[in-house]
Every structure is written in C-alpha cells, then in structure tokens.
Amino acid sequence: MTAASPSVPFVCPVCKTGLEMTGDGYRCGTCARIYPTVEGVADFRVEADPYIGLDADRYKARHLAEAARTRTFEELVRYYYSVTPEDPPDLAARWTSRAVHEVAIAREFLQSVGIGPGASLAGPLLDLGCATGGLVVAASRVAPAVAGVDIALRWLVVARHRLREAGVDALLVCASARQLPFPAESFGTVVANDLLEHVDEPADVLREAARVSARGARVVITANNRYAPLPEPQLRLWGVGYLPRRWQSPYVSWRRPDTHRYRIVLRSAAELVTLVRAAGWTDVRAEPAPLVAPHVGGAVVRAAVGIHNRLRTWPVIRSGLCWIGPRLLVSARKA
C-alpha cells in the first residue's frame, strides 16, 4: 500500500505563522514574505543552497522539468550531470549509480532500523534532505504518509519524476532543514540520512526536527564516520577525516581542484550524540549503521558488507565500530 501525502498545513518557516495561498505560491500575512511554487514544488527557502543561487536553481529546476517530459528517471539523472560540468565525470558516475539504486538502498535501510513491512508508525514520516526521493518512495510502502524536504529545488523536480514513475503520492517541499515550513508536532518519525555533515548549523537542524516532531516521535540519523580508516565517502580521498578541520578544505582543493569547495564536516559518534542531546532529544543511542550497497558489484564487497552487518550487533565489536566503523547510526526520541 502506498502512503498518502500528509495533510499538514504550511507555516512561514521564519515566523511560524499560517500562510495564505496566492495564485502562484504562499504569502505570510505576519512578516509579508512571499514563497513561490515552482514546477509544482512549494519553495520556502530564505537562503540558497551552498552550491547555487536561488534564481539559478529555479531556472535549472524549470529546465529539468522540461527535460523530464521525454526521459525516464534514470535518463533524467544522467541528463542532470551532463548539464552540470562542475561535477567531475568520475564522481558523477558514482552519484548517478547511487541515485538509480536509491529506492532499494533505502528499503533495506528502513527495514534494518525497524521501519519495514509490518511496522506501526504513529503519524507521518519526514525525510530531511530527501534529494531524488528514494527514501520517500521506499517509506511510502510502510508509513501512513510521507513528506520529503530538500534545499535543492532542482533535485526535487527530479524526485517528482521518480515519484510519478513509482505511482507514489507524497509531499515534496523545498526548504532549509534549519527553517521548516511545518507546524509543531506534525510528524511521528524523522529520518536524516547523510544530512548533518552537509549543513552549516547542525544544532539548528536538530532543534527544528524536534519542533516538528510529536511527543514520542523517533529521529533516525545516519552519517559517515570521521575516523573510519577508509577514503572519504563523497570524494574517495584518503585521510580527510583525520586532518584538523581547518586543513580539510585546502587539502581537498589540492587533491581535487576540479570539485566544489569542500564543505563537508564529518563527525565522530561522540560528536553526533552530543549534538542530538543538546537539541533536546532523549534516549539518544549511537551504534554502527548497517551497510547497504546493492548497487556495488563484486563478491568480495558483498561478503565484506555481510560480515560487517553481522558483526555490528556483537557488543564488543559494536563498540569498536562506533570508533572506526564506516557508518554511524544515531536514534533518539522526543520527550
């Protein structure tokens, strides 16, 4: 059964008061801000995403919506990278493969954290940083209603195409995770996969996630571990996480001058737990995250993933993997 779009009213992401619908978007009667709707996606941003300005992002979103008329989802993702020369071809190929397999990845991940078939979720699920909507599609099979939020409007247009292909009814909203356009206590589950390492103010994101979560709601956070003795997962460079943070961006620029300025902040398990607790969440627990990689070929890789996923539940090994394992999972509750 496919979830429905949640019947959650929008509020101004800045002053949190109700909005008036206009012919082409929403208006806040209190602070007079205007929020447009672009290609069917409400745009509640009051700040641009770090890689592209608001106007340029809206232009690209409209361009992708036109391109989607004659392309499948996979073709649209490939087209996106063909018109985005600032993303190097080797990285674009990796990110394309990930996007194409994202529903399968998300389905396995959700099941591993207890959000699978037969799960009883109290209220809608919110996916923060939903990108191309893979987790939104996967969650729609088990949650009563699903909403996805991302600061990149261009990716939400691609996500809409994915949802249409999958026959999924879910809400996609363009907004900063620091300033969500939802009333307090609107969601029963919040998921933030690989989000906190990409935002400038993770504490604000976690507090805002708590604000829109109902009492007893669960938050599930995944992140790449700063101290894993492996290549940095976005750019595949060795040693980035072990460097002092002020050296990381210059080091990446030296090794990969063909990429955007490095803004990612990888964290340890202790750092993540501290952030989540400080935002007011309770029952905070960190553990090694399951590895899910159906898109990665090779018997050796598949065997290594299987061994990791079995050993991560062993108490002694679990503790060690929290220090140096590749992925971290933090879960908590709203009191």
> Is 73 a residue whose pLDDT tops 90?
yes
209-227: average pLDDT: 97
Identify the residue whose tokens are 């990278």.
81
* pLDDT at residue 1 in the model: 41
209 neighbors 34 (Cβ within 8 angstroms): no
> What tokens were used for 26?
């929403």
CATH of domain 19-226+267-333: 3.40.50.150
Q: What percent of the chain has pLDDT over 90?
A: 87
Q: What is the pLDDT of residue 6?
A: 65
Residue 117's pLDDT is: 83
Backbone angles phi, psi at 26, to 5 degrees: -140, 150
Reported confidence tier of residue 216, pLDDT bands at 50, 70, 90: very high
Residue 8, pLDDT > 80, answer no
Alpha-carbon dihedral 270, 274, 280, 286, rounded to 10 degrees: 0
pLDDT at 105 over 70: yes
pLDDT (average), residues 58-79? 98
Give the side-chain half-sphere CA count within 13 A for 250.
5
93-108 average pLDDT score: 95
Whether 298 shows a pLDDT value over 90: the answer reads no
Q: Rounded CA gap, 103 and 139, in Å?
A: 9
Q: Which of 218, 216, 149 is nearest to 189 (CA)?
A: 218
Mean pLDDT of 272-300: 91
Beta carbons within 8 Å of 212's beta carbon, 6+ residues apart = 126, 180, 182, 183, 184, 185, 186, 187, 190
Share of the chain above pLDDT 70, in %: 98
pLDDT tens-place string over residues 19-51: 999 989 999 999 999 999 999 999 999 988 889
* pLDDT tens sequence across 233-265: 999 999 999 999 999 999 999 999 999 999 999
Position 224 confidence tier, pLDDT thresholds 50, 70, 90: very high
* Nearest by Cα to 185 from 219, 216, 211, 148: 211
Q: Is 293 within 8 Å of 102 (Cβ atoms)? A: no
**47 Cβ partners below 8 Å, 6+ apart?**
176, 179
Contacts of 146 (CB under 8 A, 6+ apart): 3, 5, 6, 124, 125, 126, 127, 136, 139, 140, 168, 170, 171
Give pLDDT, residue 118: 79
Cα–Cα dist 297/121, whole Å:
33
- Residue 44 has what pLDDT? 98
For residues 152 and 129, the answer to whether their CB atoms sit within 8 Å is no
**DSSP three-state, residue 309:** helix
Domain edges within the chain: 19-226+267-333
CA dist., res. 156 & res. 147, Å (int): 12
Rounded Cα distance between 54 and 45, Å, is: 8
Is residue 6 within 8 Å of 148, Cβ to Cβ?
Answer: no
Q: What is the pLDDT of residue 4?
A: 55
User: In the chain, which residue ranges form alpha helices assigned H by DSSP?
Assistant: 54-67, 73-82, 89-100, 102-112, 134-139, 153-166, 202-211, 245-255, 269-278, 299-311, 315-324
- The pLDDT tens digits for 112-170 are 999 988 777 888 999 999 999 999 999 999 999 999 999 999 999 999 999 999 999 99
State the chain's mean pLDDT as an integer.
94
Question: Is the per-residue pLDDT at 103 higher than 90?
Answer: yes
